[in-house]
Structure 1
Amino acid sequence: MTDADTYDCETCGASVAVADARRSKPFGDLDPDTWQTLNCPHCGDRLATVFVGDE
């Protein structure tokens, strides 16, 4: 990750702004109202799982 608003995709090398990432439900037992997984819009790989409970 380069800063709080950008993630680097380890699969395709793209630098992805949080606003451009595709969001999906988190894996495991995480509450989807509180957590979301950010995915690369270029290759679809997971970038990060982020807390969104205060959004």
Structure 2
Amino acid sequence: METPRSPFAGPMPWRNRWARPELAGEVTYPMWTDERRLRHPVWRGPRPDRIPAEVRR
């Protein structure tokens, strides 16, 4: 599922590996930072009851 292209128009301030949105998962976090990044995200697991097109910020 890895892809070399970023899904974002502008440059990212950090290095990432990108993947095509083929699966949905659940992540918990206490807050967003001022830079719009998640503070202390925790992977809770896959969500087979969701499709990636349904996921919103």
TM superposition score normalised by structure 1: 0.22
Between Structure 1 and Structure 2, the one with more strand by share is 1
Tell which structure's C-alpha radius of gyration is larger.
2
